[in-house]
């Protein structure tokens, strides 16, 4: 790693570019105890070590958990919701609902396909935000909105669909998705081989969780994988809504 940083520093000097090492962070992603601190430097300046770091709006923790990301998302969403509640105190229900879907829900769902939580406490914390918004808009805790959990599940399935469709942004995931060699009578032809993991952090990761949801999706929903993402979203949404009604 240090050799790569040295080459980066040399390249910056050759191209008359300045890099500020203080804006970079060194993070060791592991759940084991780290005895020796990280000591990476760039242009003879030590890169500070930290336990978490925000990258493209997503907080990456050294313990490979999404607790910091969920907490930050809830706080940011609550600030926005509280602001709209003060502004639209006497507004109509439709206006309040539209405001929530336009300003608050995008915060709760930014990058959610990646950090979709599996711990009950974190799921409840996110759901509370939607319940507060529903109570503000309709004066009740329930609404006809889709649950945040089902929307996160939908976004994960669509991400795998885009990977199979050959979109450039998802090529790295395609290499980790292997077609299953065994198909039962209830399996569809696009079944993906499950990846064995010993720890929960691996079992409930984006790839492994989505593989299970993908394999459990009806064959008519996936079709031949030649449809557009919007068409798949409509198909999967219908299936999820039917399952929610059966549970109720």
What is the model's pLDDT at position 41? 86
What is the model's pLDDT at position 244? 47
Residues 176 and 241 in one domain: yes
The answer to whether 42 and 1 are in contact (CB under 8 A) is no
The answer to whether 120 and 87 are in contact (CB under 8 A) is no
Residue 227 phi/psi, 5-degree rounding, is: -80, 170
What is the model's pLDDT at position 247? 41
Residue 179 phi/psi, 5-degree rounding, is: -65, 140
Question: Mean pLDDT by 10-residue block, N- to C-terminus, for the chain (248 residues)?
Answer: 88 88 84 79 85 89 89 95 92 92 95 91 93 90 84 86 73 74 77 79 83 79 63 66 50
Distance CA 18, CA 63 (A): 32
Which of 121, 145, 169 represents a domain boundary (last residue)?
A: 145
What is the model's pLDDT at position 232? 65
92, part of any domain: yes
205, part of any domain: yes
Alpha-carbon Rg of the chain, whole angstroms? Answer: 22
Residues 205 and 153 in one domain: yes
pTM over 0.95: no
Query: How far from 199 is each of 175, 195, 220, CA to CA, in Å?
Result: 22, 12, 33
Distance CA 115, CA 206 (A): 7
Print the domain residue range for 171.
Answer: 149-247
């Amino acid at each position: 790693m240090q050799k790569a940083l040295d080459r980066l520093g040399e390249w910056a000097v050759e191209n008359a570019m300045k890099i500020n090492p203080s804006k970079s962070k060194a993070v060791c992603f592991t759940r084991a105890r780290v005895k020796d601190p990280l000591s990476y430097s760039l242009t003879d300046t030590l890169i500070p070590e930290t336990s978490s770091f925000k990258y493209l709006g997503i907080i990456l923790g050294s313990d490979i958990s999404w607790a910091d990301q969920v907490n930050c998302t809830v706080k940011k969403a609550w600030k926005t919701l509280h602001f709209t509640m003060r502004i639209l105190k006497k507004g109509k229900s439709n206006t309040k609902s539209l405001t929530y879907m336009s300003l608050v829900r995008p915060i709760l769902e930014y990058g959610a396909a990646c950090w979709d939580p599996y711990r009950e406490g974190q799921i409840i914390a996110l759901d509370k935000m939607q319940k507060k918004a529903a109570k503000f808009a309709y004066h009740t805790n329930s609404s006809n909105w889709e649950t945040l959990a089902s929307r996160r599940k939908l976004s994960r399935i669509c991400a795998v669909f885009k990977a199979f469709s050959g979109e450039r942004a998802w090529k790295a995931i395609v290499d980790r998705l292997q077609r299953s060699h065994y198909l039962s009578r209830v399996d569809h032809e696009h079944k993906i081989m499950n990846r064995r993991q010993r720890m929960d952090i691996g079992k409930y990761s984006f790839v492994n969780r989505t593989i299970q949801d993908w394999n459990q999706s009806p064959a008519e929903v996936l079709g031949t994988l030649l449809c557009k993402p919007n068409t798949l979203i409509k198909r999967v949404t219908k299936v999820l809504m039917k399952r929610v009604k059966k549970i109720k």
